[in-house]
Amino acid sequence: MELKKDSNSVSIDMLLIVHSEKRRAAQGAHSDRQADPGALLQRRGGLQGIGNGLRRWQKLEGNELHGNLAEKQHPQQTQIITSYDNQGTQLTVEVHPRDAMPQLLKKFSLAKCLQGDKNGNTRPRQPGGKDAHAYPWDRSSLKSMPLDLRQFEKLDTYASQVTVKSGLDELVSNLLQEAHSDLERVRAIWIWICHHIEYDIEAAQEKDRQAFKPTDILRTQKTNCDGYAGLFEKMCRIAGVQCMTVPGYSKGFGYQTGQSFSGEFDHAWNAVYLEGRWHLVDSTWGSGLVDSATSKFTFLYNEFYFLTHPALFIEDHFPDNKNWQLLKPPQSLRQFENNMYHKSEFYNKGMLSAHPETSMIKTVNGKAMVTIESCAPTLFMFMLNGKQEHGLLSLRKNGMKLEVYPPTVGTHKLQIFAKGNSDIYSSVLEYTLKCNYVDDTVQLPAELHQPVGPSWFSEQMGITKPSHPHPIIHTSDGRCSVSFGVEEGISVLASLHGDDGLITEETQRRYIFQLQREKRTELKVQLPHAGKFALKIFVKKRQEAGNYIFVFNYLLCCTNTKVNWPMFPESFGNWGQDNELLEPLTGVLPANRNVPFKLKLHGIAKALVKGQDTWPLTLNSEGYWEGSCSTAGCQEVYVMVLENANHNFYSYILKYKVNAQ
C-alpha cells in the first residue's frame, strides 16, 4: 500500500485487508453471554449475557460509522472484491475513485475522527511488550493503571445524567464538557453507556440479525454485546481516543465448569489507549445483569470491568488474538478453559485468592476443603446442591475455611457467597465436587448453620474471649460447659438442636442452663443421648426491640451410647440474667427425697421452695439462698421469690418435675 500525503488529503492506491479464517468466523452469528451471576439470594457477578449473534462493528457501512458522510461521497460507486485461497485466508481489494474516502479505511482505521500519532500513522498500533502485564496477578490493584475512583465522583454524576438530544456527535460533545483528559473522556463515555444502554435480550436470542447501528442504539437504548462494544469504540473515536473492538470467548451465562470453547466467538469488548498503553473494558458486563429465571435485564453498575487488570480480565475473557490479552506470558485457550473462574464479585468483595485453584475438586475420605483469603474480615456462606447443609464454615480474620461432606457418591455443585461491605451476599465461587466415598460417621445436624465457632464476627457482636475457640466440642459423658465474655448491654440466648426429633422447639432451650458470673456468661449443656448437636448462640442489645440475631454455633459430638441426661429446670421470665443455680441442676427430681437447693439471687427479699408443702430458703454469709425440700406427694416443685418485703406476691422463677413413684 502506498500513501501519498499532502496538507488536505490522504490518497490510497490500494488497500489490502487480510483475515484468518478464524477471525472471519467472528463476523458470523454468535451468542453473547450476559450472565445472572447467581440467584437473587444475590448471586451477582457481572453481566455476562445470554445468546446473541456477535457481529463485528466493522460490518457496519461507512455512513453508519461516520454519521452522514455518505452524502458527501463521490457519486461513483465503490467496488469491493473479496476472495479466499485454499488456506482459508481472506483477501479484500477495494477499487474507488481517487478523490473518495475508502470504505474499508473508514471501517478498519480511525479515519478523520482519530488524530494521527507523532509518526503520522492514522491506525491504532497493535499491542506490544510495553502493554503487557505480568501473569499471574500480583494483587497490587484490580485496575491496569493507578486510579483513585473518588476523582471521578463529580464526572460520574454528570455523565450519568446526560441525555440524548440529537445525534452521537452532540452526545459525545456534551459528555466531554466535564472531561479534561483522555482518561476522563473514556470514563464519561463508559459511565453513560453503562447507565443508559439496556441489554437487548430478545435480540440476543435471535439466531440471525443485522449489526446494530449507532442511531438505532441511541433510539432504542438497547443492544447486544457487539453493539455495546461498537458504540463504545465509535464514541471514543469521536472523542479522539484510540479504541478497538476485541472479539473472543467468554465465561458467561450457560458456562459450565471445565467446558471447552470452539467455533464462533460469543462476546465482544474493547481496548482503549491511555497514557501510552492499551487497557481493557467491557461495558456490556459493566451495565447490569439478566436474571436467568425471569429473563429480565436490571441495570446494576459493575465497576470491575472498567480498566480491569489483564491478569483478572483473562479469567472470563479470551480474545481472538493473544496479543489483546495484554499479558506476559499470554495464556493458551486450554489454560483459559481449565483455570479457576473467579467471578467479578470475588474481587469486588475484597477476595485475594482461593484454594484449591482448580474448579473441579475430588473428595478425600469423603471430605473436601476450600479456603479463601481476603484483604479484610468478610462474612461467607455456602450452598451444596442448593442447600446450606453438610459443611463446616469457620470465619478467619482474613478469609474463611470450609469443610464439606457430600451426603452421597457422585457429582455435587458447591457455591460460595460473600457479603463484603454490602448487606447482600453475592456468589463469588463455584466448584464441582466429585465424591466417590461417603463417611457415614460424619452426619452433621441440619440446623448447624454458618458460621461455626467464634470469630471476629462474634467479637464484633459483643462475645469475647470464648472458653472454646475451636468450633467442634467433644464430650465423653454428654456434658460440657461453654463460657465467654459479654459486653455490657448485650443479652445472650442459646438453643440446642439435633436431628432425631427428641429435641422439640419447646425443649431446645431446656438442655442448656445459662449462668451469669460477673461479666462472663456460662452455658451448661447436657445432651439427651449420643450423637451430634448444634449449639446455637444468639445476641441482642437489651435496650433495643426486636429479635435475637444468630451469631455462630458449636458442633457438639458425643459417642457414649449410655448418655441420657434429663432437661434442666424450666426458668420463667423473672429468672434474672445475673442469677446462678448451683443445685439441683437436673429438671427432674427423685420422688420421696429431701433435695437440697442452693442459688444466688439478686434483689430478692425472700425465697422459698413449694412442693406438697412450702420450705423457706435462707441467705447465707456467701450470698447464696440455701435450703431443702421434700418431694413426697407432689409431681412438681417450684422456686418462688418475693421481690419486695412490703408485698405478699411471690413470683415463680424455676420449675422442676418429680419422677413418678
> Burial, 63: exposed, middle or buried (Cβ in 10 Å; 0-12, 13-18, 19+)?
middle
Active-site hit among 133, 196, 267, 342: 267
Examine the residue annotation and report whether 282 is marked as an active-site residue of this protein. Answer: yes
Q: Which contiguous run of DSSP H or E holds residue 237?
A: helix 225-238
Nearest to 189 by CA among 164, 149, 160, 165: 160
Examine the residue annotation and report whether 267 is marked as an active-site residue of this protein. Answer: yes
Active-site hit among 113, 194, 225, 236: 225
Strands 512-517, 490-497: pairing is: unpaired
619 neighbors 641 (Cβ within 8 angstroms): no
Q: Which residue has the cell 421481690?
A: 643
In angstroms, the CA 144 to CA 132 distance is 10
Residues 6+ apart with CB under 8 A from 338: 258, 358
In angstroms, the CA 334 to CA 312 distance is 17
In angstroms, the CA 457 to CA 354 distance is 21
Give the DSSP letter of residue 506: T
Cell triple for residue 198? 439496556
Q: How far is CA 313 from CA 46, 194, 307, 378, 476, in A?
A: 12, 18, 9, 23, 53
Active-site hit among 32, 200, 282, 320: 282
Rama region for 478: left / alpha / beta (φ>0; ψ in -120 to 50; rest): left
Examine the residue annotation and report whether 629 is marked as an active-site residue of this protein. Answer: no
Q: How far is CA 194 from CA 31, 50, 226, 301, 433, in A?
A: 20, 17, 14, 7, 36
For 460, the 3-state DSSP assignment is helix
Catalytic residues: 225, 267, 282
